[in-house]
Structure 1
Amino acid sequence: MKIVIIGGTGLIGSQVTTLLKNQHEVIAASPSMGVNTLTGEGLDKVLENAKVVIDVSNSPSFADEDVMHFFKTSSKNLLNAAKKAGVEHLIALSVVGTSKLQESGYFRAKQIQEDLIKASDTPYTIVQATQFYEFAGGIAAMSTVDGKIHLSESYIQPIASADVASFIASRISEKPEMGILEIGGPEKWPIYEWITNYLNKKNDNTEVIKDLKATYSGAATELNTLVAENAFKLGSTYYEDWISVPGNLK
């Protein structure tokens, strides 16, 4: 079976490629490989005879206008090419809580991506994952104001990227869901507690402030906005086990 992975050289895409390449014809598509969903370059050719397309691509810029342009344009180009090629299953990675985080430019763009997929003629499965363990540092950075990290008491349910990749790879043999499947990590943490734990393990003494008004990527959150309340599957990798692996603490 031919499988094309859009964003195939990224964090998730590279792992999915590794999991599938020995059993299937797998193409890890990316701009560096001559496939660009934003311009449409190489899409028709790479999707020829593809049965499954996996979209784990992401915008190179998170500025509001840039990210909206990326997901809207890329999704339209990919869906048009998928229809022409007769793709039987599009599996797209999204984020748990997207519909509740519409104050954020990034999540408005992800909502557009989901809506375009749902309205298309291509059978699909949208996999909404909670935040990756690998992005703890990114959360700390985007929550820093005047040298201090402001985080709310909202719960988060982080997951290892390897568990996300494994789940996505497992869906290629399943029928299209024609809907959303939520996945999350095995534990829920108050977000300030998780990031404080991460910083402590890095010996980073940056002050973390519990701030009820703190936003997540520019959007206000309720207690369970960032957790998989209707989880189809939970990851098996616990954070303490993951972070104890050499190289994971960055």
Structure 2
Amino acid sequence: MKIAVIGASGLMGTKIVSVLEREGIDVVKASTSNGIDAYTGVGLERALAGADALIDVTNSGSFGESDAFDFFRKAGANMLAAARTSGVSHYLALSVVGTDRLVENDYFRAKLVQENLVRASGLSFTIVRSTQFFEFFDGIVNASAVDGVLRLASILVQPIAADEAATSVARLAAGKPANAIVEIAGPERLHLPEMARELVTATDDPRPVELDHEVRYFGVSLPKDGLLPTSAAASGDLTFHDWLSRNMVSQEYA
């Protein structure tokens, strides 16, 4: 089996490639660093030649940048066209749990456009919506800082380690297309402020964490369960506490 990973040099792309290679799968590592550009379409057909499946883990900008819509619309259209031409039989796109509830934010609205392009393409597909990765929580917490205080609403999250998410994505791509949305998440539901307190304690961050029910999540008003999967998603075993402990130990002895 041959699988092309578009966006192979990013956090998830790198991890997915490693999983696929350990499984003995022939992998095409496609990214702008080796001349394959999803946004312009340059090199896509070459990257997909002979590929059975395509994993789209391309990304653009941050949660607050409006150029994400242009990127996902153009890159998605280019990858889907190349996949049709190359005879790809399984198109897998990585998205975010709650995307359809976060459309007040430009980035998530753009992700929903990406999902819709895939579903309307006529190709056999799997859309994998993942909860937040542990690796991103430092940025999520820092985005809540106001005058030296971390202000967070009491939102529930069910985050997952990027390594475990990558394993799930790789296995889904190597299997039969679901022709549906599949959700993946970690093993436990946590309150965002509690995670923030554990994070600042572990990193000796002196900033206080305060509960603020008026705070929005990247500009979006959400109910308490607005970031949780709607299905009984569970693919990860590693808890945030254990991941954080391992991460701190590895940094201490690096």
Question: Structures share a fold, TM > 0.5?
Answer: yes
**Counterpart for residue 17 of structure 1:** 17
CA drift at 1:81: 0.7
1:57 aligns with 2:58: yes
One-letter amino acid matched to 1:64: E
**Counterpart for residue 134 of structure 1:** 135
Residue by residue over 1:46-92, the C-alpha shift from the partner in whole angstroms, topping out at 9 and shown as x without a partner, is: 11111100011110455532111111111011111111111100111
**Partner-residue secondary structure (3-state), 2:46:** helix
One-letter amino acid matched to 1:13: G
**Counterpart for residue 82 of structure 1:** 83
Alignment check: 8 A CA contact 1:83 1:121 kept: no
**Partner-residue secondary structure (3-state), 2:206:** coil
CA drift at 1:243: 1.0
Alignment check: 8 A CA contact 1:38 1:74 kept: yes
One-letter amino acid matched to 1:226: L
CA distance in structure 2 between the aligned counterparts of 1:73 and 1:248, rounded to whole angstroms = 39
Larger CA deviation: 15-24 vs 79-88: 15-24
Gapped runs of 5+ residues in structure 2?
Answer: none
What TM-score comes out, normalization by structure 2 length? 0.94
**Counterpart for residue 70 of structure 2:** 69
Between the two proteins, what is the percent identity of the paired residues? 39
CA distance in structure 2 between the aligned counterparts of 1:188 and 1:61, rounded to whole angstroms = 25
CA drift at 1:9: 1.3
Alignment check: 8 A CA contact 2:53 2:174 kept: no
CA drift at 1:248: 6.6
CA distance in structure 2 between the aligned counterparts of 1:174 and 1:76, rounded to whole angstroms = 24
CA distance in structure 2 between the aligned counterparts of 1:248 and 1:172, rounded to whole angstroms = 32
> What pairs up with 1:46-195 in 2 under 5 angstroms?
46-195=47-196
CA drift at 1:127: 0.6
**Counterpart for residue 225 of structure 1:** 226
Alignment check: 8 A CA contact 1:242 1:248 kept: no
Alignment check: 8 A CA contact 2:63 2:105 kept: no
Q: How many residues align?
A: 249
CA distance in structure 2 between the aligned counterparts of 1:199 and 1:50, rounded to whole angstroms = 44
**Partner-residue secondary structure (3-state), 2:200:** helix
Residue by residue over 1:114-163, the C-alpha shift from the partner in whole angstroms, topping out at 9 and shown as x without a partner, is: 11111002111001000010011110122122322221101011110011
Gapped runs of 5+ residues in structure 1?
Answer: none
One-letter amino acid matched to 1:49: G
Larger CA deviation: 70-79 vs 21-30: 21-30
CA distance in structure 2 between the aligned counterparts of 1:45 and 1:88, rounded to whole angstroms = 16
Give the CA RMSD over aligned residues. 1.5
Stretches of 4+ aligned residues off by more than 6 angstroms = none
